[in-house]
């Protein structure tokens, strides 16, 4: 029997299941937020990745095209296993071991070793981009602050960033903000506002918001 929620099963059947969808259902490893920040420093978007992309990155790592640590590989493997939950073994896609994608966007030093930014620098860069008005940076920083990546959790600032990104029309921010108003943990609970945000997010193209309204 499939253990994924029906909404995620439908996304998987439609080829639209991503890490973001697992995140919304709190079905990701605890370290996912931190790994997502590390991937961002490599120019890779873990949160938007589907199963094929996750498998491709593992394949690149196996071939030495992408410098991933054991913890990062482990998170990718766990995410793939979660997406495959309930599928008969014969129907589970094989992990890609050979890929034809562009190499990772990562700087290398003279020894050829991947050289990435530390979390503090990544958070600082995101902060600068968010201050410059980049909605996507605001959403990424909000997720990092909510999870306490690079420091203590700051849910109040996280909500403020989501408010700013949502006001700029970012669908993901609207969907995440709808969850905040629905739970009422860090903002006054407002089911009507949560519903309106979710409807706006759906109209702006958020798949999560669309099936959240059904």
pLDDT digits (tens, 9 = 90+) for 132-178: 999 988 988 888 888 777 778 899 999 999 999 999 999 889 988 99
Q: How far is CA 9 from CA 82, 85, 129, in A?
A: 11, 9, 35
Secondary structure letter of residue 91 according to DSSP: G
Instruction: Spell out the per-residue pLDDT of the chain, length 214, in tens.
Output: 457 888 889 889 999 999 988 987 889 998 887 788 778 767 788 988 999 999 999 999 999 888 888 999 999 999 999 999 987 765 556 554 333 333 333 333 333 333 445 667 778 888 899 999 999 889 888 888 887 777 788 999 999 999 999 999 998 899 889 989 998 989 999 999 999 999 999 898 876 666 566 6
Residues 6+ apart with CB under 8 A from 1: 86
Specify the pLDDT at position 103: 35
For residues 108 and 26, give the distance between their C-alpha atoms in angstroms, rounded to a whole number.
Answer: 34
Give the alpha-carbon dihedral of 44, 30, 5, 197, to 10 degrees.
-70
Structure tokens at 29: 């490893």
Q: How far is CA 76 from CA 16, 82, 94, 194, 197, in A?
A: 17, 10, 14, 32, 31
SS3 assignment, position 78: helix
Specify the pLDDT at position 147: 75
Specify the pLDDT at position 1: 45
Structure tokens at 144: 């990092």
- The reported pTM is 0.58
Secondary structure letter of residue 97 according to DSSP: S
Which of 199, 138, 146, 195 is closest to 163 using CA atoms?
138
What phi, psi does 200 have (nearest 5°)?
Answer: -65, -40
């Amino acid at each position: 029997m499939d253990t994924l929620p029906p909404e995620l099963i439908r996304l998987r059947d439609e080829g639209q299941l991503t890490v973001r969808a697992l995140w919304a259902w709190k079905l990701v490893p605890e370290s996912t937020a931190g790994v997502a920040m590390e991937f961002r420093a490599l120019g890779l978007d873990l949160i938007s990745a589907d199963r094929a992309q996750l498998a491709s990155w593992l394949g690149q790592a196996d071939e030495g095209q992408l410098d991933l640590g054991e913890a990062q590989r482990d998170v990718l493997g766990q995410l793939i296993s979660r997406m495959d939950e309930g599928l008969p073994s014969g129907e589970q896609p094989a992990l890609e071991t050979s890929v034809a994608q562009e190499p990772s966007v990562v700087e290398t030093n003279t020894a050829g070793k991947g050289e990435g930014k530390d979390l503090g620098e990544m958070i600082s860069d995101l902060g600068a981009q968010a201050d410059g008005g980049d909605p996507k940076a605001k959403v990424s920083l909000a997720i990092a602050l909510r999870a306490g990546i690079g420091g203590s959790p700051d849910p109040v600032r996280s909500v403020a960033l989501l408010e700013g990104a949502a006001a700029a029309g970012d669908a993901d921010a609207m969907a995440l903000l709808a969850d905040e108003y629905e739970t009422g943990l860090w903002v006054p609970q407002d089911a009507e506002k949560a519903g309106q945000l979710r409807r706006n997010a759906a109209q702006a193209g958020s798949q999560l918001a669309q099936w959240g309204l059904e």
